[in-house]
Each structure stands twice: as C-alpha cells, then as structure tokens.
Amino acid sequence: MAREPEAAPPVSVPETPAADAAPSSRLGVLRHSAFRTIWIAAFASSVGTWMEQTGAQWLITDLTGSSAMVGTLAASAMGASMLFGLMGGVVADRSDRRKMLLITQGLMMVVAATLTAITFLGFVTPMWLIALSFCQGTVMAFNIAAWTTVTPRLVPRADLPKAIALNSLQFNAARIIGPAIAGFVIASAGTGWVFLVNTLSFLAVLFAVTRTPPTPPDPNIDRSSARAIREGFAFVFQGRGPRAVFIGVALFAMLAVPMRHQLSIFARNVYGLDERAFGMMLGIMGAGAVAGGLAMQHIPTTFPRRRLIPISITSAGVFIGLFAMAPNVWIGGPLLFASGWFWLWSFSASWSAVQLLVPDRLGGRVVSVNTTLMFGMMALGNVLVGGVGDAIGGAVGPQLAVGGAAGVLVLCGLVMLRAAPAEIDHDPEVEGQSHAPPGPGEASGSRAE
C-alpha cells in the first residue's frame, strides 16, 4: 500500500495526539481514534461486501452453472479496475483523498442500490450482473488509490505494520461472517435482501470518512498525467525491491485468486451442495485468514520480508492445490482453512513491503500501478481458470483448472525464495530512499513534484 503525500517532507507522518496514545496497552493500534472509527466502519462495510459477493457468485452459478461465466463476472470488475487504475492513482495524488472517498463510496452505493432494485423487481440476468460489476470496478479503481493511503495518516509510522495487519484482519473476519449470513439469507429470503444489506453498509463508511482529517494534495506535485504515471511505473519496475514484490503479487493474483471465485462451482458442481454450504466454505477460508492474521502478529519484525513473502506464496499454492483435489467438503474444508491462512500472509506481507518501500510523494501512483496490474492479472487468471474448467467439463474440470494453477504458483514461489533480492527489506524513510529509482525529470536535476 502507499502512503499519502504531505506538504511537509516525505518522512513526516502525522503523529497521533497524546490523548489517544494513553491506553496503548489496552487497545493497541486501535487507541488512535480516527483509525478506530474507520476500522469499525470498514468492518461493517466488508461484511456487506462479502454478502454481496456471495450472493452475486451464487446467483450467476444458479443462472448459468458455468465456470467460465463465474470467471467472467469476477474479471469484469477486475478488468475495469485495470483499465482505470492508473488514472485513479494520478487523481488520488492530486485530490483531497477525503473528498475523493466520499464521492467514490457514494457512487458505489448507487451501483449497489441498482443491483438491489433489479433483483427485487425480477429483472436480473447474467449480463446485468456483469455490467454492474464492471461499473463497480470502474469506481473502485479511483476508490482504492485513495483508500489505501488513508491509514498512514491515522497512525504513527511505528504502528503502521500492525495497522495494516489489523485492516487485513477485519476484512477477513468479515469473510467469515458475511458469507455465512449470506448463505442463510439467500436460502430463506432471497438474494435481493443480501444486496440490500450491502447497500446500507456504505452509510457506515461515509460517516467514518467525514470524521477523518482533511488530506490536501501536495501543491508541488507534477501536473503532467503522463509524466506522473511514468514515475509510478519507474519506481515499481526500476527498483529491484519493488519489482520483486510486484512480481510476487502478480503471480499470486493470477494463479491463486481464481480459486476463491470458483468456490460456488465447487459447492454446486463438485460437491453437490447448496448456497448455505457455499457460504460456509467462504467462511471457513475467511476463518483461516483471521487465524493467519492473528498469528502474523507474532512474527518477529526482524524476520526478512524477502523470505516471508515467497514462503507464504508457496504455502498458499500447496494448500490450494490440495483443496482442488479434495473429493468432498469434509476433506476440503480444513484445506480451505489453511489456504486462507497463507492467503492472508501472502497479501499482507506483500502490501506491507510496498507501503514501506514507496516514497511518500509517489503514494497514489505506485498503489495505482500495483493494483492496476494486479487486477489485470486477476482478470486474466479468472478467465483462464474458468475457461479451462469449462473446456475440461464435469466435476473434474474446475478441480484440474484450479489445481494446475496452484501447481505453477508453488514452482514460482520456490524460485522466488531463492532469488528474492535483499532490497525488499529496505525502508526508504529510514535509509534516505537511496534505493529508489529516479523519476522522469529527476535524473537531469529537476524536481518532478
């Protein structure tokens, strides 16, 4: 994740008021009141998001029964985020992020309300689901660049890794609660009610964002969009550390993420189960992620990220592959739990590394480059895995497609374990950003800000 640029020097991260810091032993990083408010609201919204995703995945599975259509639904949102992600980062670096979040969250609420309405009215079709998913992904491209730069303004730098891990924890705790609730609501009342809960959950985030401090853009930032985007790409691909982290995230996004989007196919076509079981499968994976997040708090801060990231990716690949071959949900469930554990470790360790590597003034642009390409790899992976599953056909199709992708991920993780550069463990805020590549215009002595 990226950090937000400030008018002060890049190393300046807003300190939390002393009044907030007093009960540190009792609340930990949640002692910072603005972060606590955002965290609680984000948890409520995450529950709604997981409920909606569970409902949409089950609905398109119920309507089509196709692995490829399930993959297309996921790829539509991710493809939109890929198309508009770079511009989202540029806009985030030039805007007041609080205002930007209010606008994007409001627009996402409108899209969610539209899905709710057409579902209750009986107009929903696979094409409607895909079209609205694309709209949501378009707004998300702008939202994510602003959202991921909020946390560093709300906590001191020393608390940043724990705050990132806690954000991952709430999101994955919602993965337990949201799908489990959604499965029962869908079975008893219908999918429309799941979509309605998600629509209302945006109100909590809108309220919380109004309670955060203003986030004006750096007045010295370069106004050339093309040059700004080139700076983001230059940082990601010219520095050995950022480039290695990005490659890990991209491979995980393409080879591991499709498994989660195929779980509705596994529940219905492989295991012959209903929407309740599908919700519980997502919940089991989320429980593993929560357990992994809690365990991650005990990993020594001195443990090198260049080792933690490939170990996590390799382990996730092993358990995803074993899950894909499981003959029933009783064997698959524990493997899903382990997959969720190392899923959390893979993303949390990678994004923590990005957040600690990126210079402050490049915050939104580096996030946008990483998320844009990551969403592109997710979209590609979902289309490929879904297509291969349909091409093979039968219950074994999705198993071989997901398992094959996991096998490739394991091989990539082992290579990364041997080849990961030491630069991944650098911190430019502490080391004077000596390893960061110059942006366009800087090499000739001019400032690109």
Question: Could you confirm whether domain 29-431 is CATH 1.20.1250.20?
Answer: yes
The answer, yes or no, to whether residue 149 has pLDDT greater than 80, is no
* 324 pLDDT tier (thresholds 50, 70, 90): very high
User: Each residue of 212-246: pLDDT tens digit?
Assistant: 877 777 666 655 666 767 777 777 777 777 788 88
pLDDT of residue 405: 95
The answer, yes or no, to whether residue 271 has pLDDT greater than 80, is yes
User: Each residue of 422-439: pLDDT tens digit?
Assistant: 776 665 554 544 343 333
Per-residue HEC secondary structure of the chain comes to CCCCCCCCCCCCCCCCCHHHHCCHHHHHHHHCHHHHHHHHHHHHHHHHHHHHHHHHHHHHHHHHCCHHHHHHHHHHHHHHHHHHHHHHHHHHHHCCHHHHHHHHHHHHHHHHHHHHHHHHCCCCCHHHHHHHHHHHHHHHHHHHHHHCCCHHHHCCHHHHHHHHHHHHHHHHHHHHHHHHHHHHHHHHCCHHHHHHHHHHHHHHHHHHHHCCCCCCCCCCCCCCHHHHHHHHHHHHHHCHHHHHHHHHHHHHHHHCHHHHHCHHHHHHHHCCCCHHHHHHHHHHHHHHHHHHHHHHCCCCCCCCHHHHHHHHHHHHHHHHHHHHCCCCHHHHHHHHHHHHHHHHHHHHHHHHHHHHHCCHHHHHHHHHHHHHHHHHHHHHHHHHHHHHHHHHCCCHHHHHHHHHHHHHHHHHHHHHHHHCCHHHHCCHHHHCCCCCCCCCCCCCCCCCC
The answer, yes or no, to whether residue 421 has pLDDT greater than 80, is no
* 364 pLDDT tier (thresholds 50, 70, 90): low
What is the average pLDDT across 130-138? 93
pTM of the complete model? 0.74
